[in-house]
C-alpha cells in the first residue's frame, strides 16, 4: 500500500508558494524594529476588525524569534533581516508578544482598538 500524501502535500505547497506574493497589497502595514534586543515601538496600536500586516526589521546582528501565543504567531527574524507576518482581523484587546531569544528585554504588546 503506497500513499501519495507526501507528494500531494509537496505539490500543494509548491502551488501555494507561487500564489503567496499576491497577498496583502492594500492592507494597513505596521512596522516593528529590533535594536539592542528590544522592540520599538514596544506598544503597537492597530484598528479592530481589520486584517493587517506586520513587518519586523531586525537591526541587531543576532537572530530573534518574535513569539506571541495571543496572536498565535511565531517567527524567526535573522540578524539584519526583515520578515513579513500576516495578521487577521483582531478583536479589541491587548495582545502581548516577546522575543523568545531575549525574553527579559524583548517584550511588547499590540493594542487593538
Partner 1 sequence: MLPIATIVFREFLEIALIISLVMAATQGLQGRIKIIMLGLGIGFLGAAIIAFFTDTLAASVEGTGQDIFNAGVLFVAVGFLSWTVIWMKHHAKHLSQRIHKVGSEIVAGETSIWVLVTIVALASLREGAEIVLFTYGMMASGQVTWSDVFTGASLGAVGGTVVGVLLYLGLLRAARRHLFAVTSWLLVLLTAGMAAHGASYLIAAGVLPDLVPQMWNTSHLISGESLMGEILGVLIGYTPHPSGMEVLFYVTVVVLIALLMYRPWHSKAVVAQK
Residues that bind partner 1 (CB under 8 A): 1, 3, 5-6, 8-10, 12-13, 16-17, 19-21, 23-24, 53, 55, 61-65, 69-70, 72-73, 75-86, 88-91, 100-101, 103
CB of 17 to partner 1, least distance (A): 6
CB of 108 to partner 1, least distance (A): 15
Measured from the CB atom, the residue of 3 and 113 that comes closer to partner 1 is: 3
Among 54, 71, 68, residue whose Cα is nearest residue 100: 68
Measured from the CB atom, the residue of 13 and 113 that comes closer to partner 1 is: 13
Among 38, 21, 30, residue whose Cα is nearest residue 87: 30
CB of 37 to partner 1, least distance (A): 8
Measured from the CB atom, the residue of 59 and 89 that comes closer to partner 1 is: 89
What's the rounded Cα separation, in Å, for the pair 31 and 44?
9
CB 101, CB 62: distance < 8 Å: yes
Measured from the CB atom, the residue of 77 and 110 that comes closer to partner 1 is: 77
CB of 28 to partner 1, least distance (A): 14
SS (H, E, C) 33-97: EEECCEEECCEEEECCCCCEEEEEEECCCCCEEEEECCCCEEEEECCCCEEEEEECCCCCEEEEE
Amino acid at each position: 500500500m503506497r500513499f501519495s500524501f507526501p507528494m500531494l502535500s509537496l505539490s500543494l505547497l509548491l502551488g501555494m508558494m507561487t500564489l503567496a506574493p499576491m497577498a496583502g497589497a492594500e492592507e494597513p502595514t505596521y512596522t516593528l524594529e529590533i535594536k539592542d534586543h528590544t522592540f520599538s515601538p514596544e506598544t503597537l496600536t492597530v484598528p479592530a476588525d481589520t486584517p493587517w500586516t506586520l513587518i519586523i526589521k531586525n537591526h541587531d546582528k543576532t537572530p530573534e524569534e518574535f513569539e506571541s501565543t495571543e496572536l498565535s504567531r511565531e517567527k524567526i527574524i535573522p540578524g539584519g533581516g526583515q520578515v513579513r507576518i500576516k495578521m487577521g482581523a483582531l478583536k479589541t484587546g491587548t495582545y502581548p508578544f516577546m522575543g523568545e531569544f531575549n525574553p527579559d528585554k524583548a517584550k511588547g504588546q499590540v493594542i487593538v482598538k
